[in-house]
Amino acid sequence: MSNDPIHQFHIVNLFPVEIGGVDFSFTNSSLFMVATVAVTTVFLMMATGGRGLVPSRWQSVAEMSYEFVANMLRSSAGTDGMRFFPFVFSIFMFVLVGNLFGMFPYFFTITSHIIVTFALAMLVILTVVVYGVMRHGFHFLNLFVPAGIPAILLPLVVLIEIISFLSRPVSLSVRLFANMLAGHITLKVFAGFVASLGSLGALGVAGAVLPLAMTVGLTALEFLVAFLQAYVFAVLTCMYLNDAIHPGH
């Protein structure tokens, strides 16, 4: 069982909760969601507790994350987009810390479940739609009508735009989910090679060096992917929010 690469994605009930016949148990996934939120919040609050004019190391990490997301949002959605800054920052930090938590052995990766990433993606898309309609009303539909298209091509282009808009939550959620899932499975498989080869005697131990080196390399790669996917998720969120703010592109 310890070699099963899928085992790490199992959801285990820690504290059963049932409301109206639906299972809302507090699971290992819930635990890591709580841990992600708690650790991030406590870190940010503690790091900035000194309110130093000259930042300490931790405080500059907190400030860097703030300015990183702020610049990302400002460059893709403009100054108007800054009203969504807490939202984008929360999404980025939640996904980033959730991904990084998954890098600890025996820890659960909350973003390796499609329902979580899909819920976050839907939250983004619904925010875009609700804010776009609230702010621009009917003109929000201009999003599907790019300027300067010949009338003959227009139905086709509008159809393509609508399909691309509808596929956004899917691509946004599947990208993050698949990256985390595949990365963790690969890591587990190569680490499993090390264990099973190591049990085959002296030759096996010698042979296990290769997958071990691979595991080390993959671990580094997974840290990169953990950051990169959080960044990609946040950047796409910024770009979609830009559509809500300026629909006529």
Binding site for other proteins (CB under 8 A): 1, 3-6, 9-11, 17, 22-27, 29-30, 33-34, 36-37, 40-41, 44-45, 48, 51-53, 55, 59, 62-63, 66-67, 85-87, 89-90, 93-94, 110, 112-116, 119-120, 123, 177, 181, 189, 192-193, 196-197, 200, 203-204, 206-207, 210-211
Q: Which residue has the tokens 């950047």?
A: 235
CB of 228 to other proteins, least distance (A): 20
- Using an 8 Å Cβ cutoff, are 111 and 96 in contact? no
Give the residue with the Cβ less far from other proteins, 1 or 147: 1
CB of 98 to other proteins, least distance (A): 10
- Using an 8 Å Cβ cutoff, are 193 and 207 in contact? no
Give the residue with the Cβ less far from other proteins, 59 or 140: 59
CB of 7 to other proteins, least distance (A): 9
Give the residue with the Cβ less far from other proteins, 167 or 196: 196
Alpha-carbon gap, residue 57 to 9, rounded angstroms: 35
Beta-carbon contacts of residue 239 (< 8 Å; ≥ 6 apart): 76, 77
Amino acid 185 reads I
| CA dist 61 → 17, 103, 205 (Å) | 38, 20, 41
Residues forming beta bridges with residue 23, ordered by sequence position: 18
Instruction: Give one DSSP letter per residue of 220-231, joined into a string.
Output: HHHHHHHHHHHH
- Using an 8 Å Cβ cutoff, are 58 and 46 in contact? yes
Give the residue with the Cβ less far from other proteins, 121 or 236: 121
CB of 169 to other proteins, least distance (A): 15
Give the residue with the Cβ less far from other proteins, 159 or 216: 216
Alpha-carbon gap, residue 146 to 180, rounded angstroms: 35
- Most distant CA pair in the chain, distance: 73
Give the residue with the Cβ less far from other proteins, 39 or 129: 39
Instruction: Give one DSSP letter per residue of 52-112, joined into a string.
Output: -SS--HHHHHHHHHHHHHHHHHHHHHTGGGGGGHHHHHHHHHHHHHHHHHTTSTT---GGG
Give the residue with the Cβ less far from other proteins, 106 or 138: 106
